[in-house]
A and B are shown apart, each in its own frame.
Chain A
Amino acid sequence: LKNPLIVGFGNPLREDDGIGWRAAELIERANDEIELDVIKCQQLTPELAEAVGEASLAIFLDASVDQPPGTVSSLQVQREVPSAWSHQLSPAQLLGLVEEMNCAAPPAYLITGGVERIGWSEGMTATAERCATEMAAAAQRLLA
């Protein structure tokens, strides 16, 4: 049986950039009775292709500096032609790699939270903390 996969990515040493990690932790805590795979990482690398290929549903959680702080955006990820750059992938490129390796990519969503500070420090702003809770709620709706 395949499990849903939650991937929170970003750098928790860069303040609000850790919002994906925080949202992933909240989702994990809220779903301790169902089978759920949770990965927290700095960036998406080819090594994640295996886990994505084995998932029933993939939800990526990331920080965004391109949307207003505190807002949440959720969109379905479409496969993208992979780039030549394999150090760091987008969710769409990761799905592309999964399919290139002859695996069926699962339905996948990217949930982003708008952040206000990404300086050199641990801990997030109150805005990002609230936003992480909303990101977790958005993920919960997809899981349901």
Chain B
Amino acid sequence: MAQRIVIDPVTRIEGHSKVTIQIGDDGRIADARLHITQLRGFEKLCENRPFYEMPSLMARICGICPVSHLIASSKACDAILGVNIPPNAARLRRILNFAQILQSHALSVFHLSSPDLVLGMDSPPEKRHLFGVAAEAAEVARDGIRLRKIGQQIIELLGRKRIHPSWVVPGGVSAPLTTEKRDQIRAMLPEGLAALERTLDRFRGLFQRFPEEMESFANFPSLFLGLTDGAGKPEYYDGPLRVSDAAGNVVANAVRPEDYPKYLGEVAENDSYLKSSYYLPMGYPDGMYRVGPLARLNLVTHCGTPRADHELGALRTFAGSPLLSSFHYHHARLIEMLHVIERMEELLSHPDILSPHVRAFSHPNCQEGVGLAEAPRGTLLHHYRVDRNGLIQWANLMIATGHNNLAMNRGVKQAAEYFVRDGKLSDGALNRVEAVVRAFDPCLSCSTHAAGQMPLRIELIDADGHVLDSIAR
């Protein structure tokens, strides 16, 4: 008899979603889907608001990655102003973006995924959380908490608030960096590097304990998309888009942000509020691509900073290149954390980093603007059209989780096929299905989280809708 397994909600991710697994009459997985169950509507509610409100308004989309929206939105507004922002404003925005990547990656690796990695996918669910990690490996928990705090403190030093800073504005940033703040930020970086080195020393071995997960966690050919410097290094703030295939061949290069509609399409699925993006020239769903840490590292030859390059070399020696299994997102995140700390040190050493010239002023000169940046989870795009008075007439946002939606869905199915056998529910198997989603670190916006502890309930339902079995956590 056909059955349906529902995982609702998926835990240890940012936001609300559920997974359904359809099991056919033959006991095999017929289909598996990730459903995003929350609707925000920011594209609509910003209409007829002044464009200069967009950075602060759009940052409210999320409490985890507001900085990413702030930056992409401000870049779209820069384009509407028709200005080139001062070089030092771009440097300061880059530092803020790197700090955001650091704190968000720390949250993903340590708070959300380290319980699976340190305690094991089959460990008791009542212990499978950050506090369980603290009891088992206090140093890992301490380093994770410290790394996230460093990222948050840098954001607060620059933007005056850890969450929803309003320092990035159309035309640049609202205030220059002071000597005192620069020195405070620089003083934190060596500690961050030391924590990451300790983590990597432990996690290199840990990762190798998960051969089945490497084999089955969204491990398939796909395209990869992200910003690069146009040569061979990753870009997080600016630069053209690149698309490469599963063999490492560049499929599209030097794509300007404003040309994205020629390359990227979106479809709305009936069972999810999250649209799925695809590479337009290959059509839907063949144009499935991945973004984020794994994709960014697959798009480049090297990072361009010594510690990150050393670790990237080690990962490629172990797992090959391009990296196809989404299990490697975790390792890629740690490499990016090294890289962003190294890049922040470079930027803070720039002779003009204290320059007071950090903002360009203008009235709207264009009626359309596209802003692109790399958020922790992948490429983020804000596209606005305004009328002659600068009021928003239309907005389109393409977020990293939408770019990854097709791959996440296919990954959920692959893991279900691998771990859910004969329609039997086991907690470890279901945790692995969730862990595939977790590897992508989707951000479904934490602002709609329910208060209190989130339950996990899984039901086996037959084709007639009867509940055959259930597990509650």
Partners in one complex: yes
- Which partner residue on chain B sits nearest A102 by CB separation? B138
Also in contact, A85 and B453, with CB within 8 A (given A46-B111, A50-B149): yes
A118 to chain B, nearest CB (A): 13
B126 — which chain A residues lie within 8 A by C-beta? 84
Report whether B141 and A101 are in contact in the complex, using a CB–CB cutoff of 8 Å: yes
A36 to B400, CA, bound (A): 42
Report whether A84 and B111 are in contact in the complex, using a CB–CB cutoff of 8 Å: no
A33 — which chain B residues lie within 8 A by C-beta? none
Does A29 make an interface contact (CB < 8 A)? Answer: no
Band of interface residues on B: 20 to 34
- Which partner residue on chain B sits nearest A98 by CB separation? B134
A96 to B135, CA, bound (A): 10
A87 to B451, CA, bound (A): 10
A100 to B111, CA, bound (A): 14
Does A66 make an interface contact (CB < 8 A)? Answer: no
Point out the residue from A50, A84, A100 that lies within 8 Å of B134, measured CB to CB. A100
Report whether A86 and B130 are in contact in the complex, using a CB–CB cutoff of 8 Å: yes
Does B131 make an interface contact (CB < 8 A)? Answer: yes
Does A82 make an interface contact (CB < 8 A)? Answer: yes
Does B209 make an interface contact (CB < 8 A)? Answer: no
Chain B proximity mask over A30-58: 1 for CB below 8 Å, otherwise 0: 00000000000010001101100000000
* Chain B at the A interface: SS class: helix
Point out the residue from A46, A84, A96, A102 that lies within 8 Å of B145, measured CB to CB. A46
Does B233 make an interface contact (CB < 8 A)? Answer: no
Does A6 make an interface contact (CB < 8 A)? Answer: no
Report whether B111 and A86 are in contact in the complex, using a CB–CB cutoff of 8 Å: yes
Restricting to B107-149, which residues have a CB under 8 Å from any CB of A?
Answer: 111, 125-126, 128-131, 134-135, 138, 141-142, 145-146, 148-149
A46 — which chain B residues lie within 8 A by C-beta? 111, 130, 141, 145, 148
A42 to B446, CA, bound (A): 14
B131 — which chain A residues lie within 8 A by C-beta? 82-84, 86, 96-97, 100
A88 to B111, CA, bound (A): 12
A50 to B148, CA, bound (A): 12
A134 to B10, CA, bound (A): 43
Of listed A42, A46, A96, residue having the most chain B CB within 10 A: A46
Point out the residue from B125, B138, B451 that lies within 8 Å of A100, measured CB to CB. B138
Report whether B138 and A101 are in contact in the complex, using a CB–CB cutoff of 8 Å: yes
Point out the residue from A49, A84, A102 that lies within 8 Å of B129, measured CB to CB. A84
B148 — which chain A residues lie within 8 A by C-beta? 46-47
Does B454 make an interface contact (CB < 8 A)? Answer: yes
A19 to B194, CA, bound (A): 39
| A interface residues, tally (CB under 8 Å) | 17
B130 to chain A, nearest CB (A): 5
Report whether A100 and B135 are in contact in the complex, using a CB–CB cutoff of 8 Å: yes
Report whether A97 and B152 are in contact in the complex, using a CB–CB cutoff of 8 Å: no
Point out the residue from B111, B138, B145, B451 that lies within 8 Å of A50, measured CB to CB. B145
Report whether B163 and A49 are in contact in the complex, using a CB–CB cutoff of 8 Å: no
* Chain A at the B interface: SS class: loop
Chain B proximity mask over A12-27: 1 for CB below 8 Å, otherwise 0: 0000000000000000
A84 to B135, CA, bound (A): 13
A116 to B297, CA, bound (A): 53
Of listed A83, A87, A88, A97, residue having the most chain B CB within 10 A: A87
Restricting to A68-103, which residues have a CB under 8 Å from any CB of B?
Answer: 82-88, 96-97, 100-102
Report whether A85 and B111 are in contact in the complex, using a CB–CB cutoff of 8 Å: no
Also in contact, A49 and B446, with CB within 8 A (given A84-B129, A97-B131): no
Chain A proximity mask over B433-463: 1 for CB below 8 Å, otherwise 0: 0000000000000100101111000000000
Also in contact, A101 and B453, with CB within 8 A (given A47-B145, A86-B129): no
A136 to chain B, nearest CB (A): 24
A86 to B141, CA, bound (A): 12
B472 to chain A, nearest CB (A): 14
- Which partner residue on chain A sits nearest B126 by CB separation? A84
A101 — which chain B residues lie within 8 A by C-beta? 134, 138, 141-142, 145
A41 to B357, CA, bound (A): 32
Point out the residue from B128, B145, B452 that lies within 8 Å of A49, measured CB to CB. B145
**6 A-B pairs closest in CB distance:** A82-B131, A100-B134, A84-B129, A47-B149, A85-B453, A86-B130
* 21 intermolecular pairs with C-beta atoms under 8 Å apart: A42-B163, A46-B111, A47-B148, A82-B129, A82-B130, A82-B131, A82-B134, A83-B129, A84-B125, A84-B131, A85-B454, A86-B130, A87-B446, A87-B449, A97-B130, A97-B141, A100-B134, A100-B141, A101-B142, A101-B145, A102-B138
Seen from chain A, the residues whose Cβ lies within 8 Å of a Cβ on chain B are: 42, 46-47, 49-50, 82-88, 96-97, 100-102
Seen from chain B, the residues whose Cβ lies within 8 Å of a Cβ on chain A are: 11, 111, 125-126, 128-131, 134-135, 138, 141-142, 145-146, 148-149, 152, 163, 446, 449, 451-454
Known: A83-B131, A86-B129, A97-B131. 7 other contacts (CB 8 A): A46-B130, A46-B145, A49-B145, A50-B142, A87-B449, A100-B131, A100-B138
